[in-house]
Amino acid sequence: MQKGLIKVTTGYERFVHWMLAISCLLLCFTGMGMMYKELNFFGAIFGGLKGLKVVHNYTAIAFGVALVLAIQMWWKEAGVFVFPEDWEWFKTAGGYLWHVDKVAETGKYNPGQKMFFLTVAFFGMVMIGSGFFMLYPQYISANLLDWMYPLHALGFLVIFAFFFVHLYLGTIGNPGTVQAMFTGWVTRAWLKKQHPGWLREMEHEGTLTVSNGK
Amino acid sequence: MNNNTEIVKLIDTTLCTACRGCQVACKQWNELPGLPTKQTGSYQNPPDLQWNTWTLIRFQEYEDKDGKFQWLFRKDGCMHCTDASCVKVCPSGSLYYTPNKTVGIDRSKCIGCKECVAACPFNVPKYDKATDKVYKCNLCYSRIQENLPPACVKSCLTGALSIGPKDEMLKKAYAKVEKLGGDANVYGDKFVGGTHVIYILQFKPEVYDELPVSPKVPQSIFVWKDLFKPLSLVAAGGVVGGALLHYILHGPKRPDPADNITPNDKK
């Protein structure tokens, strides 16, 4: 790795991230192909609409496993707000929306990332729960079952919109970010800009892993 | 009867003797197997509609206010709604409106998602696990197309079942109800846009087993199909547009290259 780069993610973190991401996108793709008549042609590559259903149902298992692993791995760092530090960040919207001279110093995860994590965790579980009863309606009362369908659609609404937020902020919206989820190595300047509190903490504790270029 | 006429099947429950000829004729025409069933202490057999039983005579023991006993026989099955919940939720187009305004089913398209089973206010569509498909009465659409009455109507000995243009059948129903008097009523023309199976009932609807008094398309279906479904695309489109605007107006958050120099390098 290029000299001076800093390691910010472990291989396990990247594996869980991509397992969740790929299964989530495949679920969005197959689900949309079924929900929107105009997108029924998505089924062509799976041998028809029935193929979409089969792939959707089995992919849900991978998504459920990845979701559990992700929550177990990240909830302590990304699932809990710390006040008053996080409040300072909220007041400036992280410097994303208007000009801010000095954005509050953030640690490993900024409050925006925490909100994203909590949303995915919560609505991911909503999707698994509502989807389970759609597949096995015999385990729920008819009145409640009726509401599992709009709940599943609401989960899709939120997760699909958040996917694009995540895609933008993880790539061109924050240059230098995307390699954190590919190689795991980022530049020092990126870390200083995005997570100065975490950089300082790692330097202080001597846990910073810097590539020596070999 | 023109092939595209809006039709109604009229079920005069007061003429039904529960011979179950319609139940057998339905199975015969639609080539549905008989399966082992359970004795539940009633003549009603099988106990409910099944994937292989699209119509069923419900047997009900009824005592009026004076303790007088009477059998109530009601032929249950698809009501062929004008605003059919099942058609609204079906993702594959398997359930559809025929030119006669009845609800047809093209099983080759069915993917077994069971969404219609949950949606139907009359609890009619039934799922078969073995074929992973849903089954229900299609009012013998293949016969209707040939100007033939459905198998059940053809088999009916007492005239309890008849089929014809909607206005004629409704006129006939209201005339009969007037003749019956008392609590007699026409059931089916006042909800879900009007059903294409209409009952003549001797008593108020709430008297009959498994017969909803005011069936409607569940509210949840509107929230799902008319709200969240289109809103999902609006939200995603809004985010993509918003991100683009953010990029060109506010600009990305770029690191300062000068910060790449580590404290050690400065020494």
Would an 8 Å CB–CB cutoff place A164 in contact with chain B? yes
pTM of the model: 0.93
Cα angle B98, B104, B105; round to 5: 140
A contacts of B221 (beta carbons < 8 Å): 146, 149
Whether B250 has its CB under 8 Å from any CB of chain A: the answer is yes
Task: Evaluate whether residue A153 is within a structural domain.
Answer: yes
Kind and range of the H or E run holding A66: helix A49-78
Nearest to A150 among B109, B220, B239 (CB): B220
Res A184: pLDDT: 95
Q: B118, A34: Cβ pair inside 8 Å?
A: no
Using a CB-CB cut-off of 8 Å, the residues of chain B touching A103 are none
Altogether, the residues listed in chain A come to a count of 214
Domain assignment present for A94: no
Assign B132 to helix, strand or coil: coil
Show residues of chain B in contact with A4, CB under 8 Å.
Answer: 260, 262
Q: What is the ipTM of this complex?
A: 0.93
Contacts of A37 in chain B (CB under 8 A): 91, 93
Contact at CB, A157 and B253, closer than 8 angstroms: no
Is A81 near chain B, with CB under 8 Å? Answer: no
Q: Which domain holds residue A163?
A: 11-79+114-186
CB-CB under 8 Å, B253 with A146: no
* Interface contact A47, partner B, CB < 8 A: no
**Does position A112 have pLDDT exceeding 60, yes or no?**
yes
Question: Does the residue A181 lie in any domain?
Answer: yes
Number of independent structural domains in chain A: 1
B221 in reach of chain A (CB within 8 A): yes
Q: Does A46 touch chain B (CB under 8 A)?
A: no
Is residue A25 included in any domain, yes or no? yes
Per-residue pLDDT, B266: 46
**B239 and chain A in contact, CB less than 8 A:** yes
pLDDT in tens, A145-177: 999 999 999 999 999 999 999 999 999 999 999
A1 lies in a domain?
A: no
In which band, very low, low, confident or very high, does the pLDDT at A103 lie, cut at 50, 70 and 90? Answer: confident
List, in order, residues 6 or more apart from B88 with CB less than 8 Å away: B119, B217, B221, B225
What tokens does A206 get? Answer: 């001597």
Q: Which residues of B touch A156 (CB under 8 A)?
A: 228, 232
For chain B, the maximum distance between any two Cα atoms, rounded to a whole number of angstroms, is: 107
| C-beta neighbour count of A26 within 10 angstroms | 17
Interface test with A, best of B106, B111, B234 (most A CBs within 10 A): B111
Q: Which of B129, B224, B229, B261 to mutate to test the interface with A (most CBs of A within 10 A)?
A: B224
Give me the total of CB pairs closer than 8 Å, taking one residue from chain A and one from chain B.
126
Buried b / exposed e along B70-104 (16+ C-beta atoms within 10 A) = eebbbbbbbbbbbebbbbbbbbbebbbebebbbbb
Residues A42, A47, A48, A54, CA torsion sign: negative
* Mean pLDDT across chain A: 94
Tokens 């846009």 belong to which residue? B193
Alpha-helical runs (H) found in A79-141: 85-91, 111-135
User: Is there a domain that residue A92 lies in?
Assistant: no
CA distance A159 to A24: 9
**Average pLDDT of the segment spanning A25-45:** 96
Q: What is the pLDDT of residues A53-99, one digit of tens each?
A: 999 999 999 999 999 999 999 999 999 998 888 898 888 888 888 88
Quick one: tokens of B141? 């659409």
**Contact residues, chain B, for A25 at CB < 8 Å:** none
Q: What is the mean pLDDT of residues A187-191?
A: 93
Give the distance from CA A148 to its chain's centroid.
Answer: 23
Instruction: Determine the pLDDT at residue B267.
Output: 39
Instruction: Return per-residue pLDDT of chain B as tens, 267 residues.
Output: 557 899 999 999 999 999 999 999 999 999 999 999 988 899 999 999 999 999 999 999 999 888 999 999 999 999 999 999 999 999 999 999 999 999 999 999 999 999 999 999 999 999 999 999 999 999 999 999 999 999 999 999 999 999 999 999 999 999 999 999 999 999 999 999 999 999 999 999 999 999 999 999 999 999 999 999 999 999 999 999 999 999 999 999 999 888 887 655 543
d(CA A157, CA A153): 6
Q: Does the beta carbon of A146 lie under 8 angstroms from any beta carbon of chain B? A: yes
Cβ contacts of B112 on chain A, cutoff 8 Å: 50, 53
Contact B232 A153 (CB under 8 A): yes
Give the CATH number of the domain where residue A57 resides: 1.20.950.20
Distance (Å) from the alpha carbon of A205 to chain B's nearest alpha carbon: 15
Q: Which amino acid is at A127?
A: M
Would A45 be classed as within a structural domain?
Answer: yes
Q: A208 touching B, CB under 8 A?
A: no
A121 in a domain, yes or no? yes
Q: Which residue of A has its CA nearest to B108?
A: A50
Cβ contacts (< 8 Å) between A50 and chain B: which residues? Answer: 111-112, 132
**Positions of E strands within B185-246:** 185-187, 197-201
Contact B232 A188 (CB under 8 A): no
